[in-house]
Structure 1
Amino acid sequence: MVDTDRITGAAREFGGKVQGAVGDLTGSRRDSVEGRAREAAGRAENAYGQAKDTVRHVADEAYDLAEDAYERGGHTLREGAREVGHQVAEYPIASLLIAGAVGFGLGLLVNATRD
């Protein structure tokens, strides 16, 4: 989607070129100067519109990348939970011992930070 500032800027720039050329041909210094000023303003507005388009494009790309990363993270989490479930079902005693050791270690860490 093209920003409207680009369109109006290009039109203003073209109008300024025409006015400046007419001023040069007719010898009207006022029209020539006004045309060049309008041309410069149009060029600036066009550049502003291009910058807005670029920022919009970058934001859309960042959103798409973040959405993909979120979906991949969810998939990885589901796969990990399924694998842990299989391991617990296959080795229940070892799983209980590991869970107990992790709980004991966390208890030590929490208790150590209080002292």
Structure 2
Amino acid sequence: MDKDRIVGSAKEFAGRAEGAIGDLASDTQTQASGKAREAAGSVQNLYGQAKDAVRDATDTAASYAKDAYDKPAETLRDGSQAIAQKVQDNPMGALLVAGGIGFALALLMARPSRRPPPRWRY
């Protein structure tokens, strides 16, 4: 749990309490201050949640990369099986993707090489 989440939750709670006190005392300035503090706490809590989510995603990606590096044969086999399953599930989409890749490669290979223009002309 991130420090921002804890501080944000505390600010949010304090803002709610301040807003409730303002409601009881019918003081609009205290109510507005409580709402502002509650909103600031919510934003800080969301920021902490986002940081936690990024940290978790990074850890997961690093774990997957480490597993793929440690077991390349299994990773290749699993990837091949996943691709084969996708092709079986959607053969027309796979055909379109393969055709697009082939078309792009053909364009790249058929392009004339770039030569510098001649310096002298007769």
Unaligned 5+ residue runs, structure 2? 76-122
Deviation for aligned residue 1:73: 2.5
TM-score, normalised relative to structure 2: 0.58
Taking the aligned partners of 1:75 and 1:51, their CA distance within structure 2 comes to: 33
SS at 2:13 equivalent: helix
Per-residue CA deviations over 1:59-87 (Å, capped at 9, x if unaligned) read 000000000101112899xxxxxxxxxxx
Match of residue 37 from structure 1: 36
Unaligned 5+ residue runs, structure 1? 77-115
Count, aligned residues = 75
Is 2:20 the partner of 1:21?
A: yes
Match of residue 8 from structure 2: 9
Is 2:49 the partner of 1:50?
A: yes
Q: CA RMSD in A?
A: 1.7
Taking the aligned partners of 1:22 and 1:50, their CA distance within structure 2 comes to: 29
Match of residue 112 from structure 1: none
Q: Give 1 or 2 for the bigger CA radius of gyration.
A: 1
Deviation for aligned residue 1:35: 0.2
The amino acid of 2:66's aligned partner reads: E
SS at 2:71 equivalent: helix
Deviation for aligned residue 1:39: 0.2
Taking the aligned partners of 2:57 and 2:39, their CA distance within structure 1 comes to: 27
Taking the aligned partners of 1:38 and 1:8, their CA distance within structure 2 comes to: 12
% identical equivalent positions: 49
Taking the aligned partners of 2:74 and 2:13, their CA distance within structure 1 comes to: 53
Match of residue 72 from structure 1: 71
SS at 1:11 equivalent: helix
Q: Greater helix percent: which structure?
A: 1
Taking the aligned partners of 1:9 and 1:60, their CA distance within structure 2 comes to: 24
